[in-house]
Structure 1
Amino acid sequence: MSVAIEGKQFRLDWLKWLVAALILGGAIYANMYYDDQSVLYRALGMIVAVAVAGFIAAQTAKGAALISLGIGARTELRKVVWPTKQERNQTTLIVVAVILLMSLILWGIDSLLSWGAAQIMG
């Protein structure tokens, strides 16, 4: 865990997880109970419930660790050097050419072995 997470005190994490689970469970029940209402209102209600439950879960140790992991992953993703369009196209063409070449070689070996088996078996 990061230093910021270790230094922070998390109290009553089990209660926070219970409240978040109850909110999600209530939202799912409400979505089924109000199935005659507009889908838009039910979807907005679910979005709000998930956001509130996520905020409560983020106040726990595991929630804070998950947020820290997400921030770290985003930082690492920004360090990736993506290929240019020309590099991507050239690599794709090389892969397609190698696949075609290997398929021809394997077809030839299969045909040769099939011919040999046919000669042996009559």
Structure 2
Amino acid sequence: MVADKLKLTLAALVIVAALALFYTLGEGSSLIRALIVVAGVIIAAGIALTSEPGRAAWQFALATRTEVRKVIWPTRRETAQSTMIVILMVLVVGIYLWLLDALSFWAIYDLALGLG
């Protein structure tokens, strides 16, 4: 338990150190600075994955990947039809709101205030 906390703390410190180097080397090459951050994240992930919470997160990721493979994804035609329905409904609701706005404008300014 304590070892896991130390590992996670060390992983966080590695990321903080990589980010500190990124900003410290502000005048240096952007590629080098970016590679330092990427290397820091990879090293931190390696350290974190050796802890119990890291192993649990990895197992969760593997299980999630398995579940995603079981999903029956919609066909291209179903996706296109759903998209067209959404676009149509957006247009219908937009026209409805426009008419409601115009009607309320007319009711307030013409009928109630007589400014029309």
TM bucket by the smaller chain? 0.7 to 0.9
Give the corresponding residue for 1:41. Answer: 32
Cα distance in 1 between the residues matched to 2:32 and 2:39: 11
Note if 1:89 corresponds to 2:80. yes
Q: 1:98 aligns with which of 85, 89, 94?
A: 89
Residue 57 of structure 1 and its aligned partner are, at CA, apart by 0.8
The CA deviation at 1:91 is 1.6
List aligned pairs for 1:42-81, cutoff 5 A: 42-81=33-72
Measured in 1, the distance between the counterparts of 2:6 and 2:28 equals: 32
2-side partners of 1:52 and 1:27: how far apart? Answer: 10
Counterpart AA for 2:113: M
Aligned-CA RMSD value: 2.4
What is the TM-score of this pair, normalised by structure 1?
A: 0.71
Q: Which of structures 1 and 2 has the larger relative contact order (alpha carbons within 8 angstroms, sep 6+)?
A: 1
- SS of 2:74 mapped into structure 1: coil
Percent sequence identity over matched residues?
35
SS in 2 for 1:81: coil
Instruction: Provide the rounded CA distance (Å) in 2 between the counterparts of 1:33 and 1:101.
Output: 54
In structure 1, distance between residues paired with 2:18 and 2:94: 53
Match of 2:111 in 1: 119
Change (3 A) 1:119 1:84: same
Relative to structure 1, the CA distance from residue 59 to residue 115 in structure 2 (aligned partners, 3 Å threshold; closer, same or farther) is same
**Normalising to structure 2: TM-score of the pair?**
0.73
Classify the secondary structure of the residue corresponding to 2:72: coil
Range that drifts further, 25-34 or 51-60 = 25-34
Rounded to whole Å, the distance in 1 between the matches of 2:94 and 2:27 is: 56
Name 2:101's counterpart in structure 1. 110
Gap change, CA 1:106 and 1:60, over 3 Å in 2: same
Superposed displacement of residue 97, structure 1: 1.8
Measure how far apart 1:35 and its partner are.
4.1
